[in-house]
Amino acid sequence: EAGVAQSPRYKIIEKRQSVAFWCNPISGHATLYWYQQILGQGPKLLIQFQNNGVVDDSQLPKDRFSAERLKGVDSTLKIQPAKLEDSAVYLCASSYTNRGRKETQYFGPGTRLLVL
């Protein structure tokens, strides 16, 4: 079974530029998550989708971050404009259902973003 795919793996941009990350979850997984992992910290949930609807985006900085999952499969996370503090690894994860706390999430390799 193919895992969660993410691209690009690395991205370097200057502050105030925009950037987009792509994620393709495991086939058949209804729930998709985007996490931000700052160096030396654990991942922090940014947004959770159930199919093509948003379940939780309470920690997404909506003035600069946006995400979509239009067809309920792959997803795009965008930052516009980027700030220095956005430098982090952006992880995508998926799970089969939205059974919440018991559901295992499967993670992609992440996109490492450096904002200069």
Partner 1 sequence: AQSVTQLDSHVSVSEGTPVLLRCNYSSSYSPSLFWYVQHPNKGLQLLLKYTSAATLVKGINGFEAEFKKSETSFHLTKPSAHMSDAAEYFCVVSEGDMRFGAGTRLTVKP
Provide, rounded to whole angstroms, the least separation between the CB of residue 80 and partner 1: 25
What is the x/- site pattern for partner 1, positions 8-47, by CB under 8 A?
--------------------------------xxxxxx--
Structure tokens at 25: 């979850």
Provide, rounded to whole angstroms, the least separation between the CB of residue 57 and partner 1: 12
> Binding partner 1 by CB under 8 A: which of 24, 36, 48, 94?
48
**Which residues contact residue 26 at a Cβ distance below 8 angstroms, ignoring those fewer than 6 apart?**
1, 2, 3, 4, 94, 106
Provide, rounded to whole angstroms, the least separation between the CB of residue 78 and partner 1: 21
Q: Is residue 81 reached through a cis peptide bond, with omega within 30 degrees of 0 on the bond before it?
A: yes
Of 30, 71, 31, nearest to 47 by C-alpha is 31
Which positions from 62 through 91 interact with partner 1, judged by CB under 8 A?
A: 91
> Binding partner 1 by CB under 8 A: which of 56, 62, 84, 114?
56
Provide, rounded to whole angstroms, the least separation between the CB of residue 56 and partner 1: 6
Cross-strand pairs, 72: none
Does 53 help bind partner 1 (rule: CB under 8 A)?
no
Phi, psi of 86, deg, nearest 5: -80, -5
- Rounded CA-CA distance 69/21 in Å is 12
